[in-house]
Amino acid sequence: MKQIIVLIFFLFFTCCIGQETTTTTSTTAPTTTTTTIATLTSTSMTTSTTWAPSALMVHIRDFSAKPKDVSITKGNAVTWINYDPVHHNVVFEGFSSEKLKKGDMFTHTFNETGTFHYYCSIHKKFMRGTVTVT
Q: How do strand 128-133 and strand 64-66 relate by DSSP bridges?
A: unpaired
Does position 54 have pLDDT exceeding 90, yes or no? no
**Quick one: pLDDT at residue 48?**
32
Q: How sure is the predictor about 92, in pLDDT bands with cuts at 50, 70 and 90? A: very high
Q: CA of 16: how far to CAs of 4, 11, 45, 104, in Å? A: 18, 8, 62, 55
**Quick one: pLDDT at residue 29?**
34
